[in-house]
Amino acid sequence: MAIQWFPGHMTKARRQIEDKLKLIDVAIELLDSRLPFSSRNPMIDDILRDKPRLIILNKADLADPEATRKWLAYFKSEGHVAHPVDAATGTGIKEIPEQVKLLLKDKIDRQIAKGINPRASRALIVGIPNVGKSTLINRMAGKNIAATGDRPGVTKGQQWIKTGGNLELLDTPGILWPKFEDQEVGYRLAVTGAIKEEILNVEDIAFFAVKYLVKDYGASFQERFGIEKLPEDLENPDEIVAVMEAVGRKRGCLISGGRVDLEKASRLLLHDLRAGKLGRFTLETP
């Protein structure tokens, strides 16, 4: 597989974020709880430098809670402040202004000591496409301001969005791009839908998902697709394909001769996974 790095996009995105850093007190870095490592742009430390940062593990509702606990402990051990959120329903949102206040406590205290009445803290949301930036902004704003969907929101003039807490958000998030030289990382991103199926083949993505998930979350496969026997040897491609065929039969993806349409079965499998129909899962541990 070719290296995916989006160098042109990244240079532009980097400049845009660097320009905005002057305007803000804190950066809110959004990661996908199912893949906190792979959804993190490796240049982020270099871009944000010493700007105070709050890490949000978003889509926590879709992730394995035990794995999320491990990731939170990991980020803490690295000296970061991380917080789990489900931006879709709003769980964890109301703590964000408090967390920001704690991060900026020294600065705010210094201002108060000097007799300055601290203005609202200002934040920029950053993250890779589809991680939930627009959803989070809308949630924090309490009304529909930013466009949500698969595409980066339509850029309007720079505006500050009030959030209720003494915190304001830039209305346009900073879009970073995933970087992967490692094809495992590419597949993990693809399983969650963070990169499109044009880059990787849909059957390969489903194959990867089955191989990875059957090991830790096999019961959900058995339950949803009525699979009698899970693969014993995950290194045997035939056994993985057998699971995909079982999925296809269960979901009615048959073609002439009673054969399974593997492409269709793969699409349905990934759809179910992303929609949380196979239960909560996390694709990587710290």
Ligand X SMILES: Nc1nc2c(ncn2[C@@H]2O[C@H](COP(=O)(O)OP(=O)(O)O)[C@@H](O)[C@H]2O)c(=O)[nH]1
Residue 244 contacts residue 211 (beta carbons within 8 Å) = no
Closest distance between Mg ion and the C-beta of residue 170, in Å?
13
Residues 68-97 that bind ligand X (CB under 6 A): 86-88
Instruction: Answer yes or no whether residue 61 interacts with ligand X by CB under 6 A.
Output: yes
Determine which residue in the list 39, 41, 99, 134 makes contact with ligand X, applying CB under 6 A.
134
Cβ distance to ligand X smaller for residue 39 or 266: 39
Closest distance between ligand X and the C-beta of residue 153, in Å?
6
Residues in binding contact with ligand X, number by CB under 6 A: 17
Cβ distance to ligand X smaller for residue 148 or 222: 148
Instruction: Answer yes or no whether residue 59 interacts with ligand X by CB under 6 A.
Output: yes
Residues of the chain by 3-state class (helix, strand, coil), percent to 5: 45, 15, 45
Closest distance between ligand X and the C-beta of residue 240, in Å?
27
Q: Which residue's CB comes closest to ligand X?
A: 132
Instruction: Answer yes or no whether residue 192 interacts with Mg ion by CB under 5 A.
Output: no
The residue ranges of DSSP E strands in 4-63, in sequence order, are 26-32, 53-58
Look up residue 123 and give its two tokens. 């934040």
Cβ distance to ligand X smaller for residue 86 or 171: 86
Encode 201-214: b = buried (16+ Cβ within 10 Å), e = exposed.
ebbebbbbbbbbbb
DSSP symbol at 172? S
Nearest alpha carbon to residue 190 among 283, 101, 277? 283
Closest distance between ligand X and the C-beta of residue 156, in Å?
15
Look up residue 129 and give its two tokens. 């496409």
Cβ distance to ligand X smaller for residue 121 or 134: 134
- In 3-state terms, what secondary structure has residue 196? coil
Distant-in-sequence, close-in-space partners of 114: CB < 8 Å, separation ≥ 6:
none
Cβ distance to Mg ion smaller for residue 134 or 192: 134
Q: How far apart are CA 153 and CA 145, in angstroms?
A: 10
Query: How many angstroms separate the most distant Cα atoms in the chain?
Result: 81
Determine which residue in the list 7, 8, 115, 149 makes contact with ligand X, applying CB under 6 A.
149
Instruction: Answer yes or no whether residue 192 interacts with ligand X by CB under 6 A.
Output: no
Residue 145 contacts residue 138 (beta carbons within 8 Å) = yes
Cβ distance to ligand X smaller for residue 276 or 286: 276
Using the contact rule CB under 6 A, the part of the chain among 5-13, 58-66, 97-105, 278-286 near ligand X is 58-66
Residues belonging to the chain: 286
The partner residues of 126 in beta bridges, in order of sequence, read 29, 174
CA distances from 10 to 6, 128, 136 (A): 6, 11, 22
Residues in binding contact with Mg ion, number by CB under 5 A: 3
Determine which residue in the list 4, 70, 81, 129 makes contact with ligand X, applying CB under 6 A.
129
Determine which residue in the list 38, 58, 134, 282 makes contact with Mg ion, applying CB under 5 A.
134
Helix ranges (DSSP H) in 25-162: 44-48, 65-77, 96-103, 105-113, 133-141
Cβ distance to Mg ion smaller for residue 84 or 174: 174
Instruction: Answer yes or no whether residue 62 interacts with ligand X by CB under 6 A.
Output: yes
User: Given the rule CB under 6 A, which residues bind ligand X?
Assistant: 58-59, 61-62, 86-88, 127, 129-135, 148-149
User: Given the rule CB under 5 A, which residues bind Mg ion?
Assistant: 133-134, 153
